[in-house]
Amino acid sequence: MKRAKIWITGIALMIGVAMATRLALQAGAIGAGYAAKQICSGVFVARLPEQFVVETDVLPRLATVGPLTQLLDYALDSTEQSVVASLLGQTATAQHQPRYGCALGEADEAPLFPRSDGALKNLNELSAAAATAAPPARNSQGRESAALQNTLDEAFTEPSGGGRNTLAVIVMHRGEIVAERYSGPVTAETPMQGWSMNKSLIATFVGRQIDQGHLRLDDSVVTALQAAGAGGATVAKADPDLTLKHLLSMTTGFDFSERYFPGDDVTDMLYRQPGMWRSAPDTGHALPPGEQWAYSSGDINTASLIWQQSLKGEPYPDWIEAHFSQPLSLDEIVLEPDASGVQVGSSYAYLTARDWARMGQLWLDAWHGRSEVISQAWQRRAVTPGTAKGGEIYGLGFWLNTDHRAFPSAPENTFHAGGNSGQFVVVIPDKELVIVRLGLTLNESRTDMNALLDDVLATL
C-alpha cells in the first residue's frame, strides 16, 4: 500500500511539473510577444519614449501574471525598427513597416493580400526622440470652459492608490472640440492604441462595403475561409450557416476563450499565431450560430479577413486613406496586420485622440443621417441590440447602453467603442456629444467614466 501511495505521488508530481513547465513556456511566449509588440508600436508608431512604454505599459501588464518583470530582456534596434524580447527562454520579434506599423514574427506563408508601397500622405514626421520634448503632464489646450476645466481636472487626477493613468480626453459638442487635454509625453500628435475600439472600426469598414454593395451580412464564413486557403480541418469546423453577421455580433458559437491568461485562446492568438483570422474557427463550435452572445476577439479577426477580401486586391491602408482619411481629414491612422497580412481587427489600431474623436463624430453624423461616408441605415443597424441570449448589450461592433447598464445617467441610445486599459469613444446622439478618453488603466474601474460623463452632461 505504501509503494502504491509513493507511485501515485510520483505520478502526480510528474504531472504537476509537466503542467508547470507548459505554463511557464506559454507565459514566456505570451510575455515576450506582448513586450516586443508593445515596445515596437509604442516607439515606432506612437513615437513615445522607450522608457515610458516599458514602465507604464509593458512592465505593469507583465506583473499581473506573476513575477515576470525582472526576467524580461529585450533589444530595440532603431535602425532596423525592430524589437526582440525574451522571457523564460521564449523569444519574440516585432518588426515595423511604414503604413502598417508593427507585426510579430514571420509568416510561414505568403501574405494573403498585396501590400501598399505608397507613403502616408498626412504622416507627422515626429521621431521617437522628439517625443521626449512633449509638453508636461495635464497640458490643457485652453479650449474648455471653467466647468469643463474642473471636469478634466477630475479625469486626470489619480484616485487613492493610483492606477488611473489618463493620457487624453476630448469632448466634442455639435462637431466642435470644447475640451481637450493630454498627459505628457502624449500630445495631440500621438497615435494612441485603441485596443478593442478597433472592432468598431472593422464594423464601420464592413458597413461601408455593405453600403457600396460589396458585402452582405449573410455572406458565408465558410466561403471566406476557403478563399483564404484555410486548411480543410479549419473549414470543416465552421458551421455552413455561419455568416458575417454572426462574426460582427459575436454570436458565432465558437468555443473561443476571451480570458487573458497564458495559454488562453485570445492571448495565444494575439502573440503566437501568424494568421489570427483562423484562431476562432479552429476552436470549433460549442453552440450553434446565433444562439448565444459571447465576447470574442477571434470573431472580429475573421470578420477582418472578409472585409479585406472585399477590397479585391487593394491594400487596406490605401482603401482607408481614400474612403476615411481623406473625407474625414484624419491626421494619421495605423492599423496593424498579423504576419499573414490581415489587419488585427480585434486590437491593433493607432489613431490620435483627435482622430478617434473624428471617428466618433462620423458615427454620430451617420446615426443622424448626415454622413456621406456611412449610411444612416448601417449605423442604426450597428447599434441595434442583438437578439441572441445575452446579446442585448451589443450591436455590430459597438457596446450599447441598453437599460442604462453601461452609463446610468446617459440616454439609452448612447453607444460606444471600448478598449482594454480604459479606451473609450462614447457617442450620445441626443446630446450631440462625442467623448474620447484614452489611457493606460489596468483596473478599468479606475477610469470612472460614469463620473466623466455625468460631469459633461451636467455642463453641456
Intra-chain end-to-end CA distance of the chain, in Å: 78
State the pLDDT at residue 263.
77
Report how far residue 240's alpha carbon sits from residue 221's, in angstroms, rounded to the nearest whole number: 8
The stretch 151-164 carries a mean pLDDT of 93
pLDDT band at 179 (very low <50, low <70, confident <90, very high): very high
Instruction: Report how far residue 89's alpha carbon sits from residue 78's, in angstroms, rounded to the nearest whole number.
Output: 24
**Residue 82, pLDDT score:** 97
Please give the pLDDT value at position 300: 99
Strands (DSSP E) contained in 248-336 are: 333-335
pLDDT above 50 for 137? no
Q: Give the model's pLDDT for residue 369.
A: 98
Q: Please tell me the distance from the alpha carbon of residue 399 to that of residue 68, in angstroms, as a whole number.
A: 33
Tell me the pLDDT tens digit for each residue of 332-343: 999 999 999 999
This prediction has a pTM of 0.91
Asked whether residue 109 carries a pLDDT value surpassing 60, the answer given is no
Q: Determine the pLDDT at residue 4.
A: 53
Mean pLDDT of 16-44: 79
* Pairing status of strand 423-428 against strand 433-439: antiparallel
Distant-in-sequence, close-in-space partners of 415: CB < 8 Å, separation ≥ 6: 363, 383, 395, 398, 399, 400, 401, 426, 427
| Percent helix, strand and coil across the chain, each to the nearest 5 | 45, 15, 40
- CB contact burial 185-199 (16+ within 10 A = b; e otherwise): bbbbbbbbbbbbbbb
pLDDT tier for residue 12 given thresholds of 50, 70 and 90: very low
Is residue 13 predicted with pLDDT exceeding 70? no
Residue 134, pLDDT above cutoff 70: no
Query: Residue 69 — very low, low, confident or very high, per pLDDT cuts 50/70/90?
Result: confident
pLDDT value, residue 11: 44
Could you count the other beta carbons within 10 Å of the beta carbon of residue 241? 13
pLDDT for 247: 99
Looking at residue 118, what is its pLDDT? 66
Q: At residue 396, does pLDDT exceed 80?
A: yes
Please, which pLDDT band fits residue 106 given cuts at 50, 70 and 90? low
What's the whole-number mean pLDDT along residues 267-293? 97
Kindly tell me if the per-residue pLDDT of 261 is higher than 90: no
- The answer on pLDDT for 238 being more than 50 is yes
pLDDT at 143: 55
At residue 132, the pLDDT reads 34
Give mean pLDDT, residues 294-316: 98
Name the percent of the chain lying above pLDDT 70.
Answer: 88
Mean pLDDT of the chain: 90
Each domain of the chain, given as residue ranges in start order, spans 2-97, 192-459
Architecture of domain 192-459: 3-Layer(aba) Sandwich (3.40)
Ramachandran quadrant class, 337 (left: phi over 0; alpha: psi -120 to 50; beta: rest):
beta
Question: What is residue 385's predicted lDDT score, i.e. its pLDDT?
Answer: 98
